[in-house]
């Protein structure tokens, strides 16, 4: 991933690098350094949030920090200045470090923390975040740094101590006045848990906090419309779903199934292997993998430019996960190679990482089929939109007690609804119906799944 460098009076300006996967901007979450700090090659200098993940950005230069271009909460475009570094007094560099790495000289740029540099022998201590008052919106000085950011004298607090723009967004969306929230983080920083606690507190003083970047139009009673900017992950979701609806002639079919046998099978598995519990989602994933082996047409995509259908060699299974940053679809590559226990462990770890915002962008792309358990929201059914450019998506509703006929007798069973949305260009109803029926049969009679694997 390429960054960039310009030199003015022996200073080096590190440009926000290309974060990959078509991402053109990133929001500054937290600076790891301050003006005047001495940094070494590959030291993490800032945490940024893209539309897909939160990542640490390392600086490929060594020296003293002269300028931080942007404040927490500010969106910076790729290729624009991020941090300016000057040589140490006398032009000396820290011992053992080059001014910038050979990769930068060659134009390849640096890599993001967590993606590997191939030569990480030294252990660097994570810097403790510097706490600073962050009024919203931050006023930028002539260098692009929030006013007062370069001052070494602590200023008296004039606003709530909030570092994360995610916390600000959560408060704004729910109308929480941050000045009334007591922060429990280091130095009194307000965390997400503090805002959530304020939402449930009976005496919480709530007030609509309009977005100062957007503003709101007044209405007759003096209140304002809430304006939600279509940026970041929300914009990516909107663009992708709109493209899916524009390009894919989708059809949705559904069926009600008796999931009692599946729940009983899960209970038996977990009783036999208590140290490696298996979730219902993992069993549904295993059933989908069995269905895709029988009906590979649904594990494909349409290449409109080449005018052909590409059936994937492996199943890169996407799992829809609702997070504080919006709906994300992390991908388990070559899921067909995993055992059911491995599927369960990978699903748990992947969804947890997605909700924490720690997945790299590469883990959020490249899926070939998506499984969406929207039953966790307490709904029975849906007509899901295909995750472009995939060709199909299976949705699962909540599992509830319903009357069901068993062997000619009315009984109360655990019933759920399965919905399959598919691209009609890759197959006709026979294939889609065959896949959905196979999935339904395996849910109702898990022994069929064992016979098919």
Whether 339 contacts 370, CB under 8 Å: no
Question: Is 438 an active-site residue?
Answer: no
What 402-409 contacts at long range (C-beta under 8 Å, 24+ apart), as own/partner pairs, is: 404/258, 406/258
Single out the catalytic residue among 97, 119, 388, 424. 424
Active site residues: 424
């Amino acid at each position: 991933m390429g960054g960039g460098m310009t030199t003015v009076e022996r200073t080096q300006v590190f440009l926000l690098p290309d974060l990959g996967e078509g991402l053109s901007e990133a929001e500054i979450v937290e600076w790891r350094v301050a003006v005047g700090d001495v940094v070494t090659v590959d030291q993490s200098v800032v945490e940024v949030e893209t539309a897909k993940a939160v990542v640490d950005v390392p600086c490929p230069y060594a020296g003293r920090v002269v300028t931080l271009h942007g404040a927490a909460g500010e969106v910076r475009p790729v290729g624009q200045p991020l941090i300016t570094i000057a040589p140490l007094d006398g032009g000396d560099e820290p011992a053992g470090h080059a001014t910038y790495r050979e990769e930068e000289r060659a134009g390849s740029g640096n890599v993001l923390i967590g993606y590997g540099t191939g030569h990480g022998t030294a252990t660097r201590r994570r810097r403790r975040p510097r706490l600073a008052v962050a009024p919203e919106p931050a006023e930028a000085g002539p260098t692009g740094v929030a006013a007062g950011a370069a001052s070494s004298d602590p200023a008296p607090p004039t606003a709530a101590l909030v570092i994360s723009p995610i916390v600000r967004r959560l408060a704004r969306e729910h109308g929480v006045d941050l000045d009334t929230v007591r922060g429990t983080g280091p130095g009194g920083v307000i965390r997400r848990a503090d805002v959530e606690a304020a939402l449930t507190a009976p005496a919480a003083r709530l007030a609509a906090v309009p977005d100062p970047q957007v503003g709101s139009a007044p209405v007759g009673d003096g209140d304002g419309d809430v304006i939600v900017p279509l940026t970041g992950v929300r914009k990516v979701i909107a663009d992708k779903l709109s493209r899916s609806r524009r390009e894919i002639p989708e059809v949705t079919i559904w069926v009600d199934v008796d999931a009692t046998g599946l729940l009983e099978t899960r209970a038996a598995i977990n009783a036999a292997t208590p140290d490696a519990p298996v979730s219902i989602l993992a069993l549904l994933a295993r059933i989908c993998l069995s269905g895709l082996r029988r009906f590979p047409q649904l594990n494909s995509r349409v290449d409109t430019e080449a005018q052909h259908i590409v059936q994937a060699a492996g199943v890169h299974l996407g799992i829809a996960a609702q997070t504080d940053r919006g709906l994300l679809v992390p991908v388990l590559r070559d899921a067909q190679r995993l055992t059911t226990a491995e599927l369960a462990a990978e699903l748990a770890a992947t969804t947890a990482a997605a909700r924490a915002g720690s997945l790299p962008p590469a883990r959020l792309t490249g899926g070939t089929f998506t499984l969406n358990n929207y039953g966790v929201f307490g709904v029975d059914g849906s007509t899901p939109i295909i995750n472009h450019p995939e060709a199909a998506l299976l949705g699962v509703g909540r599992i509830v007690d319903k009357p069901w006929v068993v062997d000619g007798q009315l009984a109360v069973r655990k019933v759920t609804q399965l919905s399959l949305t598919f691209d009609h260009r890759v197959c006709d109803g026979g294939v889609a119906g065959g896949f959905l029926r196979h999935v339904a049969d395996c849910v109702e009679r898990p022994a069929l799944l064992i016979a098919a694997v």
